[in-house]
Amino acid sequence: MTVIAAGLVALAVVLWPRGRPGSRPGRAGLEGVGSPAGGGEPSGSGLARLRGLLRREVRFGRARRGWVADFAELAAVGLDAGLPSAEAARLACTVGATSSDPGPRLLAARLAEVDALGGGVGGCLADEAPGDPDLTFLAAAWQLTDEFGVAAAPAARTAAEVLRERAAAEDRRTVLAAGPRASMWLLTLLPLSGPLVAVLLGLPVTEVYGGVAALGATAVGCVLTGVGWLWSRALVRRALRPAEVG
């Protein structure tokens, strides 16, 4: 029981979730569906938290690509055809709507409401953007067209290109971090698999880990495993941190 308790403590330290700085909760209309990693579940549900933990630490499952870049490019096509901004945005939502991602449909309904009240597309996108960095970026680009008369079609097309380049950079960061994360998990799970190995070899776990020296070594090993995991995770996070331009 002592060995199991020590193993559980080490796993708790290893898998303890850590908040991401700068994240903000999204609006109810587009919450969880605008970001590339959104799964459609409420952000506070246990399933969403478990999926986020697995995606962050184990990289279980590929993050779903966001719809904002496609929306911006489709809107640029409508703007090139001479459609008003609101009509081009609604048409882009209609064309890009899919059954698996309700974000475009929800945004189309919101755009219709704002257009009926005489509001701009950029302001509508900004209202729906909190929690979604892609939509925040597109909203800033579109507000330039609403407030300063910047050409809407080139701005939307450039925003789509930037968002795709950002997604490709995130994919490269994930690939670069895959090797260190695999080593972290391997070096963590190997010591914790000692009781299972003892059972497979037909050795009584109580005799293998029953001595004072064995229990002490197990406890120290679990603590060091947790400290090593936190240190390794901090190193990986610092290595992947974007460089600041001075």
Alpha-helix residue ranges (DSSP H) falling in 16-151: 46-53, 68-80, 85-96, 103-116, 121-128, 133-148
pLDDT in tens, 231-246: 888 888 888 887 665 5
CB 121 within 8 A of CB 146: yes
What HEC string does 179-239 produce? HHHHHHHHHHHHHHCHHHHHHHCCCCHHHHCCCHHHHHHHHHHHHHHHHHHHHHHHHHHHH
pLDDT in tens, 147-157: 887 788 998 99
Record the tokens describing residue 234, joined without a space. Answer: 């901090």
- Whole-angstrom distance, CA of residue 240 vs CA of residue 242: 6
pLDDT, position 23: 40
For the chain, what are the domain ranges? 64-168
pLDDT in tens, 166-219: 889 888 888 888 888 888 888 888 877 888 888 888 888 777 777 888 888 888
pLDDT, position 58: 56
